[in-house]
Amino acid sequence: MKKMLALLMAATMVFSLAACGSKTTTSGGEEGLPKIGVTIYKYDDNFMSFVRRAIDTSAEGRAELSMNDSQNNQATQNEQVDIMISKGAKSLAINLVDPQAAPTIIAKAKAANLPVIFFNKEPEASVLKSYDKAWYVGTASAEAGIIQGQLVAEAWKVNPEWDKNGDGKMQFVLLKGEPGHPDAEARTKFAIEEITKAGIEVVELELQTGMWDSVKGKELMDAWLAKHGDSIEFVIANNDGMALGAVQSLKANGYFTGDKYVPVVGVDAIPDALEQIKEGLMLGTVLNDAKNQGKATSDLAINAALGKDPVEGTEWKLDENKAVRVPYVGITLDNISIAEEAYK
């Protein structure tokens, strides 16, 4: 009897350990629903957590999802795709770890004759066009930078006191996302271009990658404040995560009390950033509509799994690059309700 109990306990422990190591969740197990294999490049990305929630919510009662955390590892994601295919997925929804890996994913999907919807990280147009069952859901990368740049320029012009040294130039630091990521490159380029287009001279004090991460954003801001101090007149971040890290650093260094202030802008309009805008700790952000990106991803993946045209019966339109573009919206305290609605 004791030996049998010991064996049962050992088996239970093995099962528990295996379950703890799993990074896959399945939802919507109703019989007859199409199986959709989904991967997220990493679950602990703040913005992607909202996209993931929107995909799950939108697919409820319409599909059985196998949701996977790729843990920012492309090899892991490739293995997950193989497993989802072997388990009978009827379509794939892939948030790439590395956009350069799109041909590998397409080869796997093509071999299984499965449709694939890429989302949030855009493959090159030629790669997407190489397979007639591949589509993309995301944004127009340049648009976020343009809107952010316009927001910065408008605010700078109506707040002449932000030009601390009175030289008529904006001394800025910029927290960049992942190098080579299409959104990071476009947001950086077009934000600064838009500011200069508005007739504002700029001086780049620092531009470094914070890898979309709030902790890295804080560390960089700490270093920049130690180096430049009050010479920093504007903080521009490619996403809200890094902007929040910068705000944390600025607060720790005595900013946002009295007349000690530096404007900070981000992109995404995640709820934490909206709270900072309400408190006057962030100037603004750009709504990257997680809710509609997730809904569009679900809609296309489900249609494709059922053998339909991917946008049939939906509000979405495909552009010349086989992509659904969800528009950005500039957000300040004046229109913050638009962003709050997007996260309900």
Angle at which helix 240-252 crosses helix 271-278, to 10 degrees, equals 40
- Tokens representing residue 288 in the block: 């990257």
Res 307 pLDDT > 50: yes
What are the residues whose beta carbons fall under 8 Å from the beta carbon of 58, sequence distance 6 or more?
Answer: 294, 295, 297, 298, 299
Residue with the larger pLDDT of the pair 7 and 137: 137
Range of the domain at 267: 142-287
pLDDT in tens, 315-342: 999 999 999 999 999 999 999 999 998 8
Res 11 pLDDT > 60: no
15: pLDDT confidence band, cut at 50, 70 and 90? Answer: very low
266: pLDDT confidence band, cut at 50, 70 and 90? Answer: very high
Range with the lowest mean pLDDT among 44-48, 158-162, 323-327?
A: 44-48
171: pLDDT confidence band, cut at 50, 70 and 90? Answer: very high
Q: Are 77 and 101 in contact (CB under 8 A)?
A: yes
19: pLDDT confidence band, cut at 50, 70 and 90? Answer: very low
Q: What pTM was estimated for this model as a whole?
A: 0.79
312 φ, ψ (degrees, to nearest 5): -60, 130
Query: Cα separation of 73 and 92, whole Å?
Result: 18
Residue with the larger pLDDT of the pair 12 and 75: 75
In a domain, 151, yes or no: yes
Res 24 pLDDT > 70: no
Looking at this protein, which amino acid is placed at residue 1? M
In a domain, 2, yes or no: no
Res 23 pLDDT > 60: no
In a domain, 63, yes or no: yes
165: pLDDT confidence band, cut at 50, 70 and 90? Answer: very high
Query: Cα separation of 56 and 45, whole Å?
Result: 16
In terms of DSSP H, where are the helices of the chain?
A: 2-21, 46-59, 74-86, 102-111, 125-129, 141-158, 182-197, 214-228, 240-252, 271-278, 290-305, 336-342
What are the residues whose beta carbons fall under 8 Å from the beta carbon of 151, sequence distance 6 or more?
Answer: 265, 283, 284, 286, 330, 332
pLDDT in tens, 93-111: 999 999 999 999 999 999 9
Half-sphere CA count of 223, side-chain side, radius 13 A: 13
Query: Is the same domain home to 19 and 79?
Result: yes
Query: Is the same domain home to 42 and 122?
Result: yes
How many domains does the structure of the chain reveal? 2
Residue with the larger pLDDT of the pair 209 and 15: 209
Res 12 pLDDT > 60: no
Res 32 pLDDT > 50: yes
- Tokens representing residue 338 in the block: 């638009």
Query: Is the same domain home to 179 and 237?
Result: yes
Query: Is the same domain home to 166 and 64?
Result: no
Predicted pLDDT at 181: 87
182: pLDDT confidence band, cut at 50, 70 and 90? Answer: confident
Predicted pLDDT at 22: 38
Evaluated on CA atoms 87, 95, 102, 208, the torsion sign reads negative
Res 344 pLDDT > 80: no
Query: Cα separation of 84 and 93, whole Å?
Result: 11
Quick one: what percent of the chain has pLDDT higher than 90? 87
Predicted pLDDT at 31: 61
Q: What is the CATH number of the domain that holds 230?
A: 3.40.50.2300
Query: Is the same domain home to 280 and 306?
Result: no
Give the angle 200-203-207 at the CA atoms, nearest 5°.
120
Query: Is the same domain home to 128 and 189?
Result: no
Q: Which residues pair with 116 in a beta bridge?
A: 92, 134
**How many C-beta neighbours within 10 Å does residue 108 have?**
18
Query: Is the same domain home to 199 and 264?
Result: yes
Average pLDDT along the chain: 92
